[in-house]
Amino acid sequence: MNRLTFVRELRLLTPTDFNHVFNQSIRVSSPYITLVARKNSFNHPRLGFAIAKKQVKRAHERNRLKRVIRDHFRLAQHELPAIDVIVMARTAAIDIDNAALRQVLDKLWQRLLITQQNKS
């Protein structure tokens, strides 16, 4: 049975991890969210956030976005290949509700998988 937790191993934690992803990355974006991804050497995906205060000013809005995105990643982690993903939010992301955000994330994950397969 697959575990549906979001443990420490599934997170990008260090600046080195983030720099590694930003160099030679694949980007997919929507008006709300941008995903930046790169293959990793592990056999599981990892997730990191780069949600700037300049884009999403209020802490509760940033926290809501991170909470929804983390939950979506947690449920989809077993369908994703071994990639590191950084999520960046745009100002428009605060105006959409959680259900719409999940739909946007579904579309972005699919585009990311297709782009990543074409690049390999």
Q: Which pair of tokens denotes residue 36?
A: 């930046």
Q: Is residue 1 scored above 60 in pLDDT?
A: no
Q: Where does the pLDDT of residue 113 fall: very low under 50, low under 70, confident under 90, or very high at 90 and above?
A: confident
Spatial CB neighbours of 99, under 8 Å, sequence gap ≥ 6: none
Write down the pLDDT at residue 6.
79
User: 19-31 pLDDT, tens per residue?
Assistant: 999 998 899 999 9
Cα maximum dimension of the chain: 41
The 3-state DSSP class for residue 29 equals: strand
How far is the C-alpha of 87 from the C-alpha of 69, rounded, in Å? 8
- Name the token pair of 120: 């390999």
Determine the pLDDT at residue 2.
67
Residue 84, pLDDT score: 94
- The share of the chain scoring above pLDDT 70, in percent, equals 98
